[in-house]
Amino acid sequence: SDRQAGQDGRTGESGEETSEFGQLGPVSHGPRLGIGMDSCVIPLRHGGLSLIQTTDFFYPLVEDPYMMGRIACANVLSDLYAMGITECDNMLMLLSISQKMNDKEREHVMPLMMRGFRDAAEEGGTSVTGGQTVMNPWIIVGGVATVVCQPNDFIMPDGAIPGDVLVLTKPLGTQVAVNAHQWMDIPEKWNKIKLVISKEEVEQAYQEAMLNMATLNRTAAALMHKFNAHAATDVTGFGILGHAQNLAKQQRNDVAFVIHNLPIIAKMAAISKAGGNLFGLLQGTSSETSGGLLICLPREQAARFCAEMKASRSSSLGQDGGIGDGQQAWIIGIVEKGNRCARIIDKPRIIEVPYRVSACVLCWSLASFCHSCLSTLFVGWSGDLLNCLSLNIDGFLRHFFQL
């Protein structure tokens, strides 16, 4: 399908990391970061401030337009979060509407996608004040995130030292989950994996992946400061290994990253094996969309970092942590002396990350978000309330009963 082609066709999925853009301009005062990492950092002419920004756009990869909007926004903001930035001053939205949609489809799909994007921006404490919309054969959704920072607001991704440990804040396997979900309708594809997973499990894995992709890395960004992170990046188009290598290259010290553990959405490793090492998931090369942060932390801080990530309603941001509440994080490797490279050990431990129970308040079916139908049933309810309803029954109950 077009969508499939679009996914496969992307050449620079993760913002600044594309090499298409060549060399940097002249170096000025203050830290500067150009092509190659998650965001660019430009020293400003005013009072030691820095302009930090990033852009990202891609093609839909989940069927729910509202969730797709949330994912696109989470993916854009993630490049700021990877630098320990928790605030965003402005967002622009980049959209294209497919020519192939009729008026009715367009009027149904695009407002939901834009609303998902806006809701995620709001959860990130920012808002969308502009953008551009064009017609195109394919739908495109993305954005630009910009912040003006003081020196202490961000953490340059170059300070890892031997002895640090590597922490990952979301499980891997989103690409496998999204594709497996499409394969349920394609017999020749489905036959290859049906021995290792049921359709119900694929549905759950897909919902889990969607929930993870829509989760902001904002809590992790805040905790990077609290626990003295030395460097971080977010895991997107080049997979965990690609981004680990990219981050290693950026380091000031002679370090190497060694990954021992791969936390993966349950059953996705089995699918990958059954399909003949699909997408290179176990080699760390499978693309992720809106993946977790990969963070270099002092060894003595890492366990507390993970514990605080998991603590319900993180207070790090001084507010409701949103759908990121109770996120898990894993220590996945170590930083040792070396020549700025990264590798996965021969037989990494696969951590099967179970699906969370998430129920629709209407039908109580497992792992069903039903945002679209909720919108029509609860006309006039706030977007915030609908999000709680559709994404997180606990959050909904807390919100609704003011617990």
For a second copy, the binding residue among 10, 189, 273, 313 (CB under 8 A) is 10
Q: Is 137 in the site for a second copy (CB under 8 A)?
A: yes
b/e burial code for range 139-165 (CB count within 10 A of at least 16 → b)? bbbbbbbbbbbeeebbbbbbbbbeebb
Report, in this order, helix, strand and coil percent for the chain, each rounded to 5. 40, 20, 40
Give the span between the Cα atoms of 110 and 131, in whole angstroms. Answer: 14
Q: Which is nearer to a second copy, 230 or 243 (CB)?
A: 243
Half-sphere exposure (CA, 13 Å, Cβ side) for 319? 11
Query: Least Å distance between CB 44 and a second copy?
Result: 5
Q: Is 212 in the site for a second copy (CB under 8 A)?
A: no
Q: Is 5 in the site for a second copy (CB under 8 A)?
A: yes
Residue 364 CB burial class (10 angstroms; 0-12, 13-18, ≥19): exposed
Q: Is 21 in the site for a second copy (CB under 8 A)?
A: yes
CA 367 from chain centre, in angstroms, equals: 19
For a second copy, the binding residue among 134, 195, 379, 403 (CB under 8 A) is 134
Q: Which stretch, 49-57, 180-188, 216-224, 295-303, contacts a second copy (CB under 8 A)?
A: 49-57
Which phi and psi (to 5°) does residue 178 adopt? -65, -40
Query: Least Å distance between CB 23 and a second copy?
Result: 10
b/e burial code for range 172-193 (CB count within 10 A of at least 16 → b)? bbbbbbbbbbbbeeeeeebeeb
Residue 12 CB burial class (10 angstroms; 0-12, 13-18, ≥19): middle
Q: Is 400 in the site for a second copy (CB under 8 A)?
A: no
Site for a second copy in 105-124 (CB under 8 A): 110, 114
Cβ proximity of 371 and 66 under 8 Å: yes
Query: Least Å distance between CB 95 and a second copy?
Result: 7
Nearest to 369 by CA among 170, 157, 210: 210
Beta-bridged to residue 366, according to DSSP, are 359
Q: Is 383 in the site for a second copy (CB under 8 A)?
A: no
For a second copy, the binding residue among 3, 138, 285, 378 (CB under 8 A) is 138
Q: Which is nearer to a second copy, 319 or 365 (CB)?
A: 319
Site for a second copy in 139-158 (CB under 8 A): 140, 142, 144, 146, 148, 150
Sheet of 40-43, strand order: 40-43, 50-58, 140-149, 90-98, 128-136
Quick count: other Cβ atoms within 10 Å of Cβ 61? 24
Q: Which is nearer to a second copy, 56 or 203 (CB)?
A: 56
Q: Is 82 in the site for a second copy (CB under 8 A)?
A: no
Q: Is 234 helix (H, G, I), strand (E, B) or coil?
A: strand
b/e burial code for range 267-285 (CB count within 10 A of at least 16 → b)? bbbbbbebbeebbebbebe
Mask for 339-358, x = binds a second copy (CB under 8 A): --------------------
Query: Least Å distance between CB 85 and a second copy?
Result: 13
Q: Which is nearer to a second copy, 104 or 347 (CB)?
A: 104
Q: Is 35 in the site for a second copy (CB under 8 A)?
A: yes
Query: Least Å distance between CB 6 and a second copy?
Result: 7
Q: Which is nearer to a second copy, 38 or 64 (CB)?
A: 38
Q: Which residues bind a second copy (CB under 8 A)?
A: 5-6, 9-13, 15-16, 18, 20-22, 24-25, 34-35, 39-40, 42, 44-47, 49, 51, 53-59, 89-90, 92-95, 97, 99, 110, 114, 127-138, 140, 142, 144, 146, 148, 150
